[in-house]
Each structure stands twice: as structure tokens, then as C-alpha cells.
Amino acid sequence: MNSLLNIFWLGLKEIRSLISDKVMLLFVIYAFTMAVYIQATGTSNEVNNASIAFVDEDNSALSKELFNAFYPPRFQIPKKINAHEVETAMDKGQFMFVVVIPPQFESDLRAGRNPEIQINIDATAMQQASIGTNYIKNIINKRISNFLKRTDEKTTMPVNLIVRKLFNPNGVSSWFLSVVAIINQISLLTIVLTGAAVIREREHGTLEHLLVMPLTAFEIAMAKVWANGLVILIATAVSLFGVVEMALKVPFAGSHLLWFFGVILYLFFATALGIFLGTISRSMAQFALLIILVILMLMLLSGGSTPVESQPEWLQRLTFFLPSRHFVSFSQVIIYRGGGLNAVWSQFLMVSAMGLGFFIYSLALFRKSIAVTK
């Protein structure tokens, strides 16, 4: 009972210490509000407002129809330029796409000569250029097909291909990016807060004050775990309900309670990792360098940025032992697919087992560090 009280009061001390650190507090607030919103809306996997120009050397009814087929929001209003202006305009970055329609294009098409249309692409924006090229090809092919048939009616095809997009029918990138942003902030801020708390105790000399009190290393470590974990959990709830669901209108298909239970399990691992890094670091600068290496690995290999299946097979086996991979996995199942406990219990078990193992190791290292200090 005394041990629980010690953990409780030490945890309150941690929370008061964080509140008194205005810079760190503002950083936490910003990371789970503006940073999440900006990351979700500031980048996009779709083509939006792409600049496009036409070199129309045919001046036929078909070429004019192709010119009018491009309009906002996917593309800007097309501009007509001359052939000799293409190279200069592309060099200056004025247009991402330039479509060149050759002379006698419509007549050659009707005669069955298979004329060519040239599409010049500014591939410095590689992803947008690749996606935009497919948009342009589909638009042009459809318009030419409809023009030749003189009707917009669908013709009978050998195969009727029906595409159904599940979980994100309109392909809205903010639905995906906002949740990934929260997951990344949970990993980053939990490790930073916990590790910084350990180093702050050492640099300010308050660790020596704790050592002369009837406290154990387990009580000191657990106080940091629950206090910093609670702060991140509250910030996560505010970010999820306030930013993701209310501001960005991202639907949450599964159980909020189940997901937050999974978050608590992951926080146990992240706080243990923070204690570990804070223990082996001798200064805040050294801790910051270690954070860069660890966080990049957790983010890039978790499956949040790119699917785990796209990684090399040997690397997939290694990432199986990363709790961040299982965190991203069960988050996607719960949030997007509406999965229940029967769909995520294995990920919960892996996160719990690895979190517990790492906490035991971190606690042993922390206890050894305290013994040296004594």
C-alpha cells in the first residue's frame, strides 16, 4: 500500500514538473493539435491544382474538347502556349504538365492512323507527376472514345470491371495521414517526456533527493511511467476527438475504448524506452541524438508511412519485434475496418509482452544507475 502511495505522489510531482516547464507543455499541445492538422492537410497523395498547358497544333473540334476536359480542382484552368515556349516554360517550372496535340490529329484519328499525343512532365514532384499522368491519360482516352462515338453512353466491354474502395471510398488522404500523425506523435512525445524527466532529475540534482528517501527504483520508474503516460493519453484523446474527428471529419469505425486500451499498452513500452534512453544518456544533447535514431526507425519501419509488405522479407522478420509495427496494425484494424478484440488480440499480446520485457530490462538498468549514483 505504501509503495502505491509513493508511486502516486511521485507521479503527481512529475506532472507538476511538466506543467511548470512551459516550453515542453506548449510543445505537447502543439504536437497533438496543429502538427496533426497540418500534417493531415498540408500534404496530399492526390493531384490537386496541378498546372497544365496545351500546345494545340491541330485546332480541331476534338483538340478543343480535350483542352476543355481539364478543370479544377484536380487541375488548374489549362493555358494555351506555342511549341517553341514549351522548353522555357518547363525550365522555369511554370507548368507540371504540357500536352502537345500534333497537326492533323483529328483527321489522322478518323483515318485510323493512330496519331500520337505528347505529354511533357515535370517529374521533380515525382509522386504528383506519376499520379497526374494517369489522370491525364484516362481523361484523354475517355474523351477521344466518346468523341468518336458521338455519345457519352457506355459501350459493352468484354469484362465489366467494378472497383470498390473500402474504408476510404473517396481516397481522402487526410483520413490516413491524420491517424498516422497521432501515432507518430505518441511515439515521439512519450519517449521524449519520459527520457527528459530522467535526465532532468539528474541534471537538477533532484535524483539525489529521491535517493535519500525510502523509495525504490521501481517506484521512481513507475511514477514516471504513469504520469507521462497519462499526459500523452489525455493529449491523444483531445487530438482524436477535437482535431481528427471534429475538424477533419475522419470517421472512426471501431471502438474508441478498445483503441485507447491498445494505446495504454503501447504507452507502457514507449515510457520504458524513454527511461532506457534517459538512463544511458549523459546529457540532454546526447539524448536528443539517440531520439533521432530511434524515432526514425520506429516511424519508418512501423508500416505507417509505407506498408510492411513492401519491405524486404528479412526486414519484415525484424520489424515483427517492433511494438510500433503492431501498434500501427491494430490501429488500422480498429479505426478503419471496425475490427473488434478478436481481430487485434494477437497484436495486443505482442505489444504487452515486448513492453513488459523492455520495462524489466530498463528497470534493471535504471536500478543499476541509481546504485552507482549512491
Please tell me the chain's helix, strand, coil percentages from 3-state DSSP, rounded to the nearest 5.
Answer: 65, 5, 30
CA 159/CA 163 separation, integer angstroms:
12
Q: Which residues contact 17 (CB under 8 A, 6 or more apart)?
A: 197, 200
Query: Which is nearest to 97 in space by CA: 70, 68, 62?
Result: 70
CA 33/CA 182 separation, integer angstroms:
9
pLDDT of residue 299: 85
The strand pair at 97-101 and 52-56 is best described as parallel
**CB neighbourhood size of 133 (10 A):** 16
The order of strands in the sheet holding 118-121 is 79-80, 52-56, 97-101, 118-121
Which domains, and CATH codes, for the chain? Answer: 2-43+172-373 (no CATH), 52-149 (3.40.1710.10)
The total number of residues shown for the chain amounts to 374
Q: Compute the C-alpha angle 46/50/53, nearest 5°.
A: 145
Q: What are the residue ranges in the chain where pLDDT is below 70?
A: 43-45, 125-126, 150-162, 205-212, 371-374
Residue 86: strand, helix, or coil: helix
Q: Which three cell numbers stand for residue 204?
A: 537538477
Q: Which residues contact 260 (CB under 8 A, 6 or more apart)?
A: 233, 236, 237
pLDDT of residue 152: 47
CA 30/CA 104 separation, integer angstroms:
58
Backbone angles phi, psi at 98, to 5 degrees: -130, 120
pLDDT of residue 153: 46
**CB neighbourhood size of 124 (10 A):** 9
pLDDT of residue 155: 46
pLDDT of residue 267: 94
84-133 tens-digit pLDDT = 999 888 888 889 899 999 999 988 888 888 898 999 998 776 677 778 88
